[in-house]
Amino acid sequence: SLTAGIVGLPNVGKSTLFNAITKAGALAANYPFATIDPNVGVVEVPDARLDKLTELVEPKKTVPTAFEFTDIAGIVKGASKGEGLGNKFLSHIREVDAICQVVRCFEDENITHVSGSVNPIDDIEVINLELILADMESVEKRLQRVSKMAKQKDKEALIEEPVLTKIKEALEKEKPARSVDLTDDELKIIKGLHLLTIKPMLYVANVSEDEVADAANNQYVQQVREFANAEGAQVITICAKIEEEISELDDEEKAMFLEELGIEESGLDQLIRASYDLLGLATYFTAGVQEVRAWTFRKGMKAPQCAGIIHSDFERGFIRAETVAYEDLVAAGSMAAAKEAGKVRLEGKDYVVQDGDVMLFRFNV
Ligand code: GDP
């Protein structure tokens, strides 16, 4: 499954946020297939549509879909040169599919800042530069080999060389590989390099308890936003400390607590949804009387592949999928009414599943 890695300098609030994630996940449900890796936290994906479907269908149980975060501690200045176990931590980033960079936007005299004072842009640049330097090493190494092969007119090398050169030029300007315009074919060619800066990134601005309700006016948050906007990246504002506290509350208590603080949605819930989006994930539903359930798929997947997420037999024996859009089902009021209104479609093996589709798969065993 796809996972988002949490990175950041020391003392910015990563562990606090990760604790919130693990506690929220532990409280929510048990995920039998979840890894037992202590660096992986599983959380439920908050989705109001699931509550609505539960109201409508009144199933015996409701199962949300889950999402994984990986804690990647230990990136410091010089990590790409092996500083502070740097290479080991950088290699952990190779295994994640998206990066959430936590940035310290809270002042606290008692908590040391690694470079002496709170300066989110400096912090971001330190981390991003380490990732860029690590990629530079990978690209240069590869380019040396590929150039030799290209001189001998090796067909694949002749295609790969200009792609690597393009990326190298961006990295030299301290720009991430994801800023380079690459076609799907070009992306495929360099996939094996597992570049760090090709992964999508979002920024998590960690603000203090007192400022979270009015974070838009926090100068540090404004700086992070400006920086992220220039890259076309998203910013989520949270107070990791509060997230840790509310991760132990049930839904009702949590809602009350957030209201008192003047926050509409918990930062963690926003982060989960933003990461989900960043990874190109979407949700379809199954809605039977036994169980109403949300399932995660990659945007662009077709009906048989989506059926295969539930069980490989569903994909192998796929015949068709009875499909109704969430909005149509809710507007009709029941599955029977949606059928009567002609809103339930019979979709075949080439149907590209849409976010919010409610599906019933027909298959041969
Ligand atoms: P890490 O090194 O990035 O994992 O940082 P930690 O999560 O260990 O946090 C470092 C220190 O900052 C701890 O003492 C936390 O309690 C504190 N901290 C983390 N988040 C917040 C926050 O939102 N507000 C305040 N005031 N302190 C925080």
Angstrom distance (rounded) from CA 234 to CA 227: 10
Q: Does the structure show a pLDDT above 60 at 321?
A: yes
Quote the pLDDT of residue 84: 55
Angstrom distance (rounded) from CA 223 to CA 216: 10
Q: Does the structure show a pLDDT above 90 at 82?
A: no
Mean pLDDT of 88-104: 89
Closest Cα partner for 206 from 254, 271, 115, 258? 271
Quote the pLDDT of residue 66: 87
Alpha-carbon radius of gyration of the chain: 23
- Region for 142 from its dihedrals, namely left if φ exceeds 0, alpha if ψ lies in -120 to 50, beta otherwise: alpha
| Probe residue for ligand 1, chosen from 6, 21, 111 as the CB with the greatest number of ligand atoms within 8 Å | 111
Angstrom distance (rounded) from CA 12 to CA 8: 7
Angstrom distance (rounded) from CA 255 to CA 249: 9
Angstrom distance (rounded) from CA 188 to CA 183: 9
Angstrom distance (rounded) from CA 257 to CA 212: 13
**Residue 293 in contact with residue 310, Cβ under 8 Å?**
no
**Residue 13 in contact with residue 206, Cβ under 8 Å?**
yes
First vs last Cα of the chain: how many Å apart? 26
pLDDT digits (tens, 9 = 90+) for 23-33: 877 665 555 54
Quote the pLDDT of residue 22: 85
Tokens 């991003």 map to which residue?
128
Confidence of residue 49 (pLDDT cuts 50, 70, 90): very high
Atom of ligand 1 nearest to the CA of 16: 7
pLDDT digits (tens, 9 = 90+) for 184-240: 999 999 999 999 999 999 999 999 988 888 888 899 999 999 999 999 999 999 999
Q: Dig out the tokens for 87 from the structure.
A: 């290479």
CA 338 remoteness from chain centre: 33
| Probe residue for ligand 1, chosen from 6, 9, 11 as the CB with the greatest number of ligand atoms within 8 Å | 11
Tokens 């809602």 map to which residue?
255
Mean pLDDT of 36-46: 82
Q: Which residues have CB under 8 Å from 257's CB, separation 6+?
A: 245, 246, 249
Phi, psi of 203 (to 5 degrees): -105, 140
CA triple 20-22-28, angle to 5 deg: 100
> For the chain, which domains are there?
3-46+65-117+200-278 (3.40.50.300), 131-193 (1.10.150.300), 300-363 (3.10.20.30)
Query: How high does pLDDT run on average in the chain?
Result: 90
- Cα dihedral 214, 204, 265, 300, rounded to 10, equals 140
CA nearest ligand 1 atom 14, residue: 111
Binding site for ATP, residues? 11-16
Atom of ligand 1 nearest to the CA of 240: 23
Give the whole-number percent of the chain exceeding pLDDT 70: 93
Confidence of residue 40 (pLDDT cuts 50, 70, 90): confident
